[in-house]
Amino acid sequence: MNWMKTAILLAAMTALFVFIGGYVGGQTGMFVAFLVAAGMNAFAYWNSDKMVLRMYGAREIGEAQDPDLFGMVRELARRAQIPMPKVYIMDNEQPNAFATGRDPAHGAVAVTTGIMQRLSREELAGVIAHELAHIKNRDTLIMTVTATIAGAISMLANFAMFFRSGDDRNGGGMNVIGSLALMILAPLAASLVQMAISRSREYEADRVGAEIAGQPLWLASALERIQSGADRVVNNDAERNPATAHLFIINPLAGQGMDSLFSTHPSTANRVAKLQEMAQGMYGAAQEAPRRGPWG
């Protein structure tokens, strides 16, 4: 269902892009703007993993530096049937984590020191499994595509103000008003769709991650703990770079607790409820789900 929703939202963004392209300059203007936006996002696609890891001061570790964490990632990657990703640790008190990499062969998982201090081994396994699900699902590629289309829409909307406002064929003043409205509303609509896709991918990563770990309640408990910690501990690196907020398992920015149109993440309560439903379906209402596993 989440894949269907993602496809529909991508189709909506594409339709909006085609409409604006036709409004501004026909096929030629649309094609030029798309090429520029695609070039910018292609650079980000090939280099964003290195950039974001450097941005958060993440340091790569091997088995010698942290055999427990490294071994956990290796075992969960084996279960997910993906190549072993690189493992990074960020010196940050806020409990959080993210995954990056343009495809499963170039995946990376980064966790904060705060999450390692606050979560149990089972909860941490649930978080790692969630991040591996993002890698397995190629969510980085999906978000790059949406960023490309959103960037092209913003560019075309700005072009509309300059190329259509001087065209008085349809009434002069109305053209200026229409172009100004398009310049404001089109990027906003694209951003809303982009955020909706991001939220959809989070739900899907929760589901797949719970399957990888074998226990939905581990991730459910972890999400509640991370949300509590994120509400109390400011992530200064994230506040300086809010465009990276969607990467994290829980929104790292202050003051983001509602499942609103402008949130890159679903509400934690909604995610936990879905995971609890999943656990009940796996183990039944009368049977208590196991709380411990290979890392207990």
Catalytic residue numbers?
Answer: 131
Give backbone dihedrals phi and psi of 261, rounded to 5 degrees, phi first: -60, -30
Query: Burial of 235 by CB count in 10 Å (0-12 exposed, 13-18 middle, 19+ buried)?
Result: buried
Q: Where are the alpha helices (H) located in 173-267, listed in sequence order? A: 173-213, 216-232, 236-240
Check if the beta carbon of residue 176 is closer than 8 Å to that of residue 279: no
Nearest-angstrom CA–CA distance, 286 and 203: 26
Q: Which residues pair with 89 in a beta bridge?
A: 59, 111
CA angle 110–116–120, rounded 5-degree value: 125
Question: What single-letter amino acid sits at 38?
Answer: A
Spell out the residues 6+ positions from residue 256 whose beta carbon is closer than 8 angstroms to its own.
245, 263, 265
Spell out the residues 6+ positions from residue 294 whose beta carbon is closer than 8 angstroms to its own.
75, 125
Taking Cα atoms as reference points, which of 82, 57, 84 lies closest to residue 72? 84
CA angle 78–61–99, rounded 5-degree value: 60
